[in-house]
Structure 1
Amino acid sequence: MTDAALTAWTPWIVPEWRTRSLVGPDGRTMDLMLALPQGEAPPGGWPLLLALDGDRFFAALAGTAAALSQRTDKTGVAPMAVAALAHRPSAGAHEDQRARDFTRSACPDPRLARPSGDGDAFQRLIADHVLPMLSGAAPLNFGRATLFGHSLGGLFVLETLRADPALFARWIAVSPSLWWSTPSPMIATPDLLIGCGEAETGRDMRDRIAGWVAAKPDGAVFKQAPNADHGSAPFALIPDILRHASGAPA
């Protein structure tokens, strides 16, 4: 298609999707995205799914949630608000921002010279600013709120669960980077879903994650996506992610 032919097309904007900016603890600007279901909120408010890496996952999660929640009785996915935090390219290299915000310790691999260790500050950003912003924008049920992260974001989910298990009701970590840091298993854990791809053999990811889940005294729900690698696993597991956020049985 030529540039001239594209002039007849206009950008497609989903009416229920919104975004606003917020400033992180070190002055970097981020985007907070929000998609709401159509119709009136249920008593107590909508369930909330908050995703990290919104630039990658928001559209897929919000679009699939809207589609599958039309038949909750068949899919197990309830209508929910989907929100996401996204780093801006203008605020620095994407992987450097993720490493800084999603970790609480220095990288153990000396070949990766990245800033790190600001996970506590990022957790405070979510607790003190992100969740209040969302609460002011829509009727939400924080007794049915879920945090989702992938890779380093998945590690952030596990370490935040360890630090403040009451911050969310449910937790989802897909392909958490346990090679960076391995949180000790929690004795008492709110609802936790951990996923990975069957083909995640780099850094011994698949077996490392499965072993961590097996060592948990209370047991976490573990989902493995057939034939999926590190990048495709979170997309292959989106129906499981949404069912878990809905409170449906795994």
Structure 2
Amino acid sequence: MFNAFFSLRSIYSSLLLALVVLLPSTSLLARPELKPLGENIADMGSTYYQFQTHFFTSADGERRYKVWIGIPKKAAPAAGYPVLYMLDGNAVMARLSEPMLKQMSSEAPPVLVAVGYDTNLPFDVAARSFDYTPAGENLEQDQRMRGRKGGGSAEFRQLLLNEIVPYVEKRAPSNPLKRGIWGHSFGGLFVLDSYYNTTWFHNYFAAAPSLGWANQRIIALAKESDPARLQHKSLYLMEGDGVTEQRKGHSSDLKHEEGQLMQILEHKGGDLHLSRYPGQTHGQILPSSLTDTLRIMSNNQN
């Protein structure tokens, strides 16, 4: 079933201004700015959340992950907390603010799990290129890979579900009907790939996924997906207006790719929600979609 849920620029612009701390405009362009990060909310401390960190290592020993776990100081509901897993955790932690946590705490605050890398940069571009992209032929030929290795999403998902998730669950049990995962760009590809391949999460938030990557590999995988695995969970596709998305290496018709994907998944019985962010660039959708996702996860709009 297809639903268009809202436009942030019209209804929630005031909320965004109050909750999100935006980076300078240059950092919101297609290519992320890789300046070292300073302290985040976990370092400074919060009245509303207790944060802890833990490190994990990939099976091949090539990538080291830093995971921040934010547990609400508000008592857990009987069914367990909502929980949101967020990719590109370093960049995510740089955007979380105390006003944002306060707003969530006034409702039904989720456990926050920011899955990042052991770096002081907002992104580990080589690691995320491998971890967030699905396997296939000739992946490295896509211009956005810039010579980096791809195709490791299955291995990363195994680490996420078999190591990171159990670690989090021991500290803060989650409500099985309120588990979410958010990712942007290549992270959005991982969310879509996970939507096809795992039923552990209930809400999947794919922000500006690179649908044209590797000859629309993620759309081809949608065609191959098992309809039975798409039931009883929701996909939120969060996109710009299809004009500012056009840049080298991307399809000239994002809306066509988006339409293809939605048609395939709707035909398979998926519960689909499309959110449009008019005028926002690929990079600008990251903080906008993150704030929106946090709001959805904390006020039971799922």
| Higher RCO (CA 8 Å, separation ≥ 6 residues) | 2
Which residue matches 2:165? 131
Count of aligned residue pairs for this structure pair: 233
Picking from 31, 40, 45, the partner of 1:13 is 45
Which residue matches 1:54? 89
1:109 aligns with 2:142: yes
- Give secondary structure in 2 for the equivalent of 1:36: strand
Which residue matches 2:246? 201
Give the Å deviation of 1:79.
1.1
Q: Which amino acid aligns with 1:104?
A: P
Contact 2:126 2:148 in 1 (8 A): yes
Distance 1:220 1:155 in 2: 16
Which piece of structure 1 moves more, 17-26 or 152-161?
A: 17-26
Are the structure 2 counterparts of residues 133 and 126 from structure 1 closer, same or farther at C-alpha, using a change threshold of 3 Å?
A: same
Give the Å deviation of 1:117.
1.4
Distance 2:98 2:178 in 1: 20
Picking from 110, 119, 125, the partner of 1:89 is 119
1:191 aligns with 2:234: yes
- Give secondary structure in 1 for the equivalent of 2:238: strand
Distance 2:166 2:70 in 1: 16
Q: Which amino acid aligns with 1:201?
A: Q
- Structure 1's unaligned 5+ residue stretches are 1-10, 73-77
Distance 2:289 2:295 in 1: 10
Q: How does 1:148-187 map to 2 (within 5 A)?
A: 148-164=182-198, 166-180=199-213, 181-182=217-218, 183-185=221-223, 187=227
Q: Percent identity?
A: 24
Distance 1:159 1:244 in 2: 21
Give the Å deviation of 1:222.
0.7
Which residue matches 2:262? 213
Contact 1:200 1:206 in 2 (8 A): yes
Picking from 79, 87, 95, the partner of 2:109 is 79
Are the structure 2 counterparts of residues 37 and 144 from structure 1 closer, same or farther at C-alpha, using a change threshold of 3 Å?
A: same
- Give secondary structure in 1 for the equivalent of 2:142: coil
Q: Which amino acid aligns with 1:30?
A: Y
Deviations 1:99-148 (A, max 9, x none): 11111222342672111111111010011101000011223223311111
Which residue matches 2:71? 36
Give the Å deviation of 1:86.
0.5
Contact 2:67 2:117 in 1 (8 A): no
Are the structure 2 counterparts of residues 139 and 109 from structure 1 closer, same or farther at C-alpha, using a change threshold of 3 Å?
A: closer
1:26 aligns with 2:69: no
Which residue matches 2:38? none
Which residue matches 1:6? none
Contact 2:182 2:290 in 1 (8 A): no
Q: CA RMSD in A?
A: 2.6
Q: Which amino acid aligns with 1:80?
A: P
- Give secondary structure in 2 for the equivalent of 1:89: coil
Distance 1:54 1:210 in 2: 29
Contact 2:104 2:294 in 1 (8 A): no
Are the structure 2 counterparts of residues 79 and 233 from structure 1 closer, same or farther at C-alpha, using a change threshold of 3 Å?
A: same
Contact 1:210 1:222 in 2 (8 A): no
Are the structure 2 counterparts of residues 59 and 41 from structure 1 closer, same or farther at C-alpha, using a change threshold of 3 Å?
A: farther
Which residue matches 1:119? 153
Distance 2:54 2:115 in 1: 10
Which residue matches 1:75? none
Distance 1:61 1:172 in 2: 17
